[in-house]
Amino acid sequence: MSGEGTRATRGWTRRDAICGAVAAIAAGGLANGFSEANAAEMNALTDLTAVEAVAAMRRGDTTAEAYATALLARAVQYKTLNAFISLEPDSVLEAARNADRARTAGATLGALHGLPIPVKDSVNTKDLPTTGGTPALRNFHPHADAPVIATLRNAGALVMGKTNIHELSFGWTSNNLAFGAVRNPYDPTRIPGGSSGGTAAVVAARIAPLGVAEDTEGSIRVPAALCGIAGFRPTTERYATTAVVPISSLFDQVGPHARNVADLVLFDTVVAGAVEPLPEVPLRGARLGIDRSFYAGLDPEVEAITSAALKKLEAAGAVLVEMPVPELSRLIGLTTAQVQLHDVAPSLIRYLAQYDTHVSFEELIASASPDIRQQFQSFVPEGSPIHISESAYEAARNVHLPELRAVFQRWFADTGAVAMVFPTTRIAATRIGEDPVDIGGRQVPFSDAISRNIASGSTAGLPGLVLPTGLTRRGLPVSIEFDGPSGSDRQLLALGLAIERELGVLPPPGGTVG
C-alpha cells in the first residue's frame, strides 16, 4: 500500500473512532467515569494531539462538549496525581457548549477552537483563583486574565483549570506542602519536576494535550523531562509574562507543555502572533553543539539513553560539534542565583500590590509552608546567610549577564551550531522527598542533579526545547534539551519536528492508558 493510501486509511480509522466516542458520550457512557467497554472510545478523544483535536472540532467530527467531557473524565481517573488546584467541570463544559454554539452559528473559529488548556496556577485568570501554590493567595481572584491567557481565549481556547505547582515556583519538585505533592504519571511515588509539575502531569496523563507552564530556571523544562513530554521555553520576552506570579523579570518566561512538537508550534504561532511559515530545517547537515561539561556525572541510564539518542541523530545526518562554552561555570556562578534571590522579594511586592491581592509580602511569607518560609528567611533580610548585596546584584545584571550572553553568541557563531544538545537533567524522576540522590553510587544534592544543565539557557535568555528520548528500566522518562541562539525560536521548533521524527515519542504512562 502506498504511503498516501496508508494515511488515508488511518485518517478514516481515527475519524470513525472519534465518532464512536462522541456517540458513547451522547449516550451517557462517559458521564460517570470509565469502564472497560468505553475505554477505547474515551482514548480516541484523549489521545488526540491539540492540532488533531482542534481540527476534529472545527470539522464537526466531535463537539467541543464531547471532547471536554472525555478530558474531564480522564482528570477524574487521574485525580490521585493531584495535578489541579482549581478545576470546575461545569464551567469548562459550559464554555465548550458556547464554542459549539459559535460553530453552529457560522462564526469564525480560532486556531484553538474548543481546546481546553490547563494553566499553571501562577498565571492570572479572571474566572479562577491564582494561588501561586501558597496559602496566603488561596482566595485571590484576579480581575482580569494575564495577556497570555487573553490571547489563548481569543484564539478559541478554554481554560480547563489551574494546575498545582511548587509553592511560589521556588523549587523543582512540586512537593507542595500547602496543596499536596504532585505525582508523576509514570510512577506516582516520584516527582513530576517543578515548578510547573501539575501542567506536565496533566499533559503526560492525557488529561489535556497542551498546557501553560512557566520557567525562570527550568520550571518548564525539568517537568517536561521528568514526565516524558515536550516542553518549550522561548527566548526571554517572546511571550508576555505580565500578570504572572514573579521571581525575576530578567528570567521569567511562560511557555507550553505538549506531547509533540507540532502542538508547541501551534502554541507559539498563536501566542507570539507568528505569521511567517515555519522554516524548513532538515536534520541532515544540521550542526549540533556539545559542551562535554553537561555530560559529566550523569546517572548511568541517563548517560546510556542520551548516547543512544545522539547516535540516532548522527545516523540521520546531524553533525555533532564539540566545543566548550568559555567561562560558563564562572559566569553562571556570578549571575543566576544573584539575580533571582535579589529580585524575587521586590517583584512579589509589586505583584501583590498591582493586582489587588490584599496580601502584603510579610503576610505572604509568614503564611507560606515551612520549607518556603525557611528559604526566604535565608536570603531576604540583610545579614541573612545568602542575602545578595546591591553591588553583587548590579555586577550580575550589568556586567556578568551581558558577558554570558555575548559568550553564547560567539559560541554559536564559532561552532555554526543551530542548537546545543545535552541531557536536561542528570537523573530521571526521583522519589518524593528524596534528597540527596544516588548517581552512580555517589550521593549528590538533588538541586545540583536537577539544575546544573538547565541554568545556563534560562539565564542567557535562550530558547530551549525538551524532547523525550527513552525510558529507564523502571519505566521513567529520560529527555534531552536543545538550546538555540537567542531569537531562533521558529528555527528551533522546526528542527524539533525533524528530531522528533527520529527519536519518536514515548508510550503513555501505564503502557495501555491513553
**3-state DSSP of 113-169:** CCCEEEEECCECCCCCCCCCCCHHHCCCCCCCCCHHHHHHHHCCCEEEEEECCCHHH
Please check whether residues 21 and 94 belong to one and the same domain.
no
Per-residue model confidence (pLDDT) at position 10: 42
* Domain finish residue from 28, 43, 77: 77
Please check whether residues 294 and 415 belong to one and the same domain.
yes
User: Active site includes 162?
Assistant: no
Within-domain flag for 67:
yes
Please check whether residues 70 and 132 belong to one and the same domain.
no
* Domain finish residue from 59, 77, 95: 77
Within-domain flag for 144:
yes
Please check whether residues 117 and 19 belong to one and the same domain.
no
Please check whether residues 129 and 265 belong to one and the same domain.
yes
Please check whether residues 185 and 222 belong to one and the same domain.
yes
Phi, psi of 273 (to 5 degrees): 65, 35
Please check whether residues 285 and 219 belong to one and the same domain.
yes
Please check whether residues 183 and 271 belong to one and the same domain.
yes
Per-residue model confidence (pLDDT) at position 130: 98
Within-domain flag for 366:
no
Q: Which of 122, 196, 219, 347 is catalytic?
A: 219
Per-residue model confidence (pLDDT) at position 228: 98
Per-residue model confidence (pLDDT) at position 275: 83
Within-domain flag for 514:
no
Instruction: For the chain of 514 residues, list the mean pLDDT of each consecutive stretch of 10.
Output: 35 65 62 56 90 97 96 96 98 98 98 98 98 98 98 98 98 98 98 98 98 98 98 98 98 98 98 90 96 98 98 98 98 98 98 98 98 97 95 98 98 98 98 97 96 97 98 98 98 98 94 36
User: Active site includes 195?
Assistant: yes
CB 43 within 8 A of CB 86: no
Q: Which of 195, 369, 458, 486 is catalytic?
A: 195
Q: Which of 86, 120, 122, 458 is catalytic?
A: 120
If one counts the domains in the chain, the total is 2
Within-domain flag for 94:
yes
What is the Cα–Cα distance from 345 to 85, expressed in whole angstroms? 24
What is the Cα–Cα distance from 178 to 391, expressed in whole angstroms? 35
Please check whether residues 64 and 132 belong to one and the same domain.
no
- Parent domain of 56: 12-77
Please check whether residues 311 and 228 belong to one and the same domain.
yes
Per-residue model confidence (pLDDT) at position 15: 74
Q: Which amino acid is at 500?
A: E
Within-domain flag for 252:
yes
What is the Cα–Cα distance from 131 to 112, expressed in whole angstroms? 26
What is the Cα–Cα distance from 48 to 15, expressed in whole angstroms? 11
Please check whether residues 23 and 94 belong to one and the same domain.
no
- DSSP annotation of 187 reads B
Please check whether residues 153 and 168 belong to one and the same domain.
yes
User: Active site includes 307?
Assistant: no
What is the Cα–Cα distance from 302 to 422, expressed in whole angstroms? 11
Per-residue model confidence (pLDDT) at position 24: 66
CB 202 within 8 A of CB 256: no
* Domain finish residue from 61, 77, 93: 77
Per-residue model confidence (pLDDT) at position 215: 98
Per-residue model confidence (pLDDT) at position 512: 35
Phi, psi of 497 (to 5 degrees): -60, -40
Within-domain flag for 249:
yes
Radius of gyration over alpha carbons of the chain, in Å? Answer: 22
Per-residue model confidence (pLDDT) at position 13: 61
CATH at residue 158: 3.90.1300.10
- DSSP annotation of 433 reads T
Within-domain flag for 149:
yes
What is the Cα–Cα distance from 101 to 1, expressed in whole angstroms? 41
Task: Name the strand (E) or helix (H) holding 405.
Answer: helix 401-415
Per-residue model confidence (pLDDT) at position 89: 97
What is the Cα–Cα distance from 404 to 124, expressed in whole angstroms? 32
